[in-house]
Structure 1
Amino acid sequence: MTATAPLPDTAGLRSRFDAELANFLDRQDPDWPDGAPRGVFRTLHRFVLAGGKRLRPLFCYWGWRGAGGADGTPIVVAAAALELFHAFALIHDDIMDGSERRRGEPSVHQLFADLHARSAWRGDAGSYGRNTALLCGDLCAAWSDQMFHECGLSTDEVHQGYRIFSLMRTEVIAGQYLDLVSGVGDGSVASALTVIRMKAARYTVTRPLQIGAALAGAGADLMTALAAFGDPLGDAFQLRDDVLGVFGDPAVTGKSILDDLREGKRTVMMALARDSADRNQALRIKTLFGNPGLDADGAAELREIIVATGALDRIEQMIRVRTEAALAALEQAPVVPEAREVLAALAAEAVDRRL
């Protein structure tokens, strides 16, 4: 394939992804089973279309363009399908983490728990919320598969990309389990880095890039080059995400800066802080970190310890090193020049952000 159409801007692409997601969801409306309450459908429609950076569809699209694929509706639809899988991952992750907010709104399980409580229904509101959200996530995963297969590309092209799509799904679920294991393990820097590579980094950058490239018929050399770019960039993205989870502005990120600390999320940053803490700092970390009753003052004390131990500075250095490695690999990657320029800009957007 050869690229012939003008390269659209990133904002325009995001709008096209959203339009295709809205079209797909609207087509599901008439097929919603008779007699089934429509609360799940309405909630998912709102959740999927309510914001999000659309990074995974963007990387998928530019993986396609980087491999020489031309712009067109089918690749936009295929890339947008990854956002439905992302919705599945977010909904389930919020349940497992006990996160009450997502994108500035109540998380899906919290929405349904609140509905149960307002309606004065029988049973436990929290259990109802979690169970309903699990079904919502499952439905998003099924819809993602459907949308990907119905994108309009040829059967052979879809099969080429679907192999990587399937690998991505397996890695995400395995990474989520590894995250659970790490929560009861040693909490080392090495184990935390393994979790972010499996659970988030490849799923955010590498696999979407490779899915797009595979759809375009890319060979092994390009797939390897995209991994050399995507893996360190995905790591840097997740390290930035962990920093924002503790030091970000909730009004901008849409998430509480207490959740990760209350949960005791085993991030690289916290592993570094523990490794460098003195005796008093270590005792305070043990007391405060993972305490579900942690308040704003306790969180502020933990942030001071993270800074004082040098953990924040070391994370920033790790982000810089990985970003530089990704950009160096991109320079050598056999992608079309226009795609290289856009991918470099996306790399900067992924790591230099407040969201």
Structure 2
Amino acid sequence: MANDAVAGDALRAPPARPAVGDDPVRAVLAAYTKDLVTGVDDTLTAFLAAEVDTLTEIDAAMGGFAATARDCVLAGGKRVRPTFAYWGWRGVVGGAEPMAPVLPPLAALELLHTFALVHDDVMDASATRRGRPAAHVAAAAQHAAAGHRGDSRRFGEAVAVLIGDLCMVWADRLLSHTALPPARLLDVRRCYDQMRVETVAGQYLDVLGENDPANWSVDRALRVARYKTASYTVQRPLLFGAALAGGDVDGPLVAAYTRYGLAVGEAFQLCDDLLGVYGDPATTGKPAGDDLRTGKPTALLMLARQLAGPAQRRALDRIGADAGDREIARLAELVADTGAVDRVERMISDRVAEALAALDAPSIDGTARTALTGLAVATTNRRA
């Protein structure tokens, strides 16, 4: 449409948020993260090459399927979860221990993340992921291009479910490569399993909220953020890292990680809520405004409804999946006009402050404290 560019520009104008912290912290963080991300990616590449070869022996078509799953894992991503897990581990052991022995379990978290993303895209009917067609969309296109029988959309969804399932199995298999004493490995496994259960709980609540918005609230939206995002993005990876290091589950360090992880994880999701409405698709890799089209009951939209006047609430209630870009752009402005964006910005800042206060625990390694400070800033003040 002729006015799409204008509408897109309106969506791509997220409110500015001043950074907490300073540039030297970010520079120190980037220097450490580079080596970690390289190690995780190298571990994944080697592991997945062997797995794809094994599945290719079953059938040539299986090789293509496995290669698609591999590509979903390796197609970009910030490696946020392995990064938090690494600093959770490093905060216990300090700087003298080599990173190589913990790379398999850290990389396993990225496989778990891919499982969640691929399934989430099916549930949300998302067209893109990381700037590329989502797995179910790509598989549907391949089905149609090949002229196969049946419904291409259903085929694509079925393939994506299997890709997610395979990534979950791969995560378990790579985790089993961890060389630790049995008792410690059991603690690691308990943390890992709890993370997976909480992820499913949060995802179910997310799906339920979209189908029962009349019974949703800001509190329930924050509960989704806590379990769908905070748990498996920040809190549990930190505790997973501490378990890898043999940290005391009842000690002050784990208590500090829990407090920090919940605060940063919730702020991370609140930032995602803003990006879902105001983000630049070229940066986020996903269409802008989808949360508005679907009426997804995020904390941002729940606050907008709570703060809206009667006319604004009627406009919000008219949101529909068939809304055009210009209408979505106007709704984005309306959401900001209610004061909801400013309120979410304050909620993010309050949670970052809470997280930084948690890092005052004296038992945290100094370099890890610096890195976690930088991570609290970088993951909640981002464009993607």
Mapped to 1, the partners of 2:179 and 2:100 lie a distance apart of 8
Partner of 2:233: 204
Q: Is the 8 A contact 1:226 1:333 kept in 2?
A: no
Q: Which amino acid aligns with 1:150?
A: H
- State the Cα distance separating 1:152 from its structure 2 match: 3.0
Q: Which residue number corresponds to residue 296 of structure 1?
A: 325
Structure 2 length as normaliser, TM-score? Answer: 0.88
Work out whether residues 258 and 294 of structure 1, in 8 Å CA contact, stay in contact via their aligned partners in 2: no
Higher mean alpha-carbon deviation, 73-82 vs 91-100, is at: 73-82
Q: Aligned partner of 2:169: which letter?
A: A
The alignment status of 1:331 with 2:360, answered yes or no, reads yes
Contact 1:97 1:263 in 2 (8 A): no
TM-aligned CA deviation for residue 143 of structure 1: 0.4
| Number of the residue aligned with 2:157 | 130
| Alpha-carbon offset, residue 215 of structure 1 | 1.3
1:258 shift after superposition? 2.8
Q: Is the 8 A contact 1:225 1:334 kept in 2?
A: no
Q: C-alpha displacement at 1:333, in angstroms?
A: 5.5
Do structure 1's residue 191 and structure 2's residue 220 form an aligned pair? yes
What's the Cα RMSD here? 1.4
Counterparts of 1:182 and 1:308, CA distance in 2: 24
Determine the structure 1 residue equivalent to 2:87. 62
Q: Match for residue 52 of structure 2? A: 29
Q: Is 2:351 the counterpart of 1:354? A: no
In structure 2, the residue matched to 1:252 is 283
AA aligned to 1:34 is I
Task: Identify which of 306, 313, 317 aligns with 2:346.
Answer: 317
By how many angstroms is 1:212 displaced? 0.6
Is the Cα–Cα contact under 8 Å of residues 149 and 158 in structure 1 kept in the other structure? Answer: no
Q: 1:106 to 1:224 in 2, by over 3 A?
A: same
Matching of residues 154-233 of structure 1 within 5 Å: 154-183=181-210, 184-185=212-213, 186-219=215-248, 220-221=250-251, 222-233=253-264
2:67 alignment counterpart: 42
Paired amino acid for 1:61: Y
**Amino acid paired to 2:48:** L
Measure the CA separation in 2 of the matches of 1:213 and 1:181.
33
**SS of alignment partner, residue 321 of structure 2:** coil
Could you report, residue by residue, the CA deviation over 1:284-325 in whole angstroms, capped at 9, with x for unpaired residues? 11111xx22121111101101111000000000000000000
CA contact (8 A) 1:172 1:200 kept: yes
Picking from 263, 279, 296, the partner of 2:294 is 263
Partner in structure 1 of residue 337 of structure 2:
308
Distance 2:147 2:236 in 1: 44
Contact 2:230-2:262 within 8 A present in 1 as well: yes
Which residue type is aligned with residue 173 of structure 1?
A: V
Does the residue aligned with 1:95 lie in a helix, a strand or coil? helix
Higher RCO structure (Cα 8 Å, ≥6 apart): 2
Tell me how far 1:119 sits from its aligned partner.
Answer: 1.5
Aligned AA for 2:307? S
Q: Which amino acid aligns with 2:228?
A: K
In structure 1, C-alpha distance between the alignment counterparts of 2:281 and 2:209, rounded to whole Å: 26
More displaced stretch, 148-157 vs 317-326: 148-157
Moved more, 105-114 or 328-337: 328-337
- Tell me the amino acid that sits aligned with residue 238 of structure 1: Q
Residue 48 of structure 2 aligns to a residue whose secondary structure is helix
For 1:141-160, list aligned pairs within 5 A. 141-160=168-187
Cα pair 2:235 2:262 within 8 Å, conserved: yes
Give per-residue Cα distances to partners, 1:131-171, cap 9 Å, x unaligned: 11000000000100110111333433322211100000000
Moved more, 156-165 or 169-178: 156-165
Distance 2:289 2:209 in 1: 20
Structure-2 separation of matches of 1:64 and 1:236 = 22
User: Structure 2: 5+ residue runs without aligned partners?
Assistant: 1-28
> Is residue 97 from structure 1 mapped to residue 127 from structure 2 by the alignment?
no
- Supply the distance in 1 between the matched residues of 2:85 and 2:310 (Cα, whole angstroms): 47
Q: Does 1:82 align with 2:109?
A: yes
Unaligned runs of 5+ in 1: 1-6
Taking every aligned residue pair, what percent have the same amino acid on both sides?
43
Q: Verify the 8 A CA contact 2:52 2:67 in the aligned structure 1.
A: no
> Alignment length, in residue pairs?
347
Deviates more, 1:257-266 or 1:104-113: 257-266
9-18 or 67-76, which deviates more: 67-76
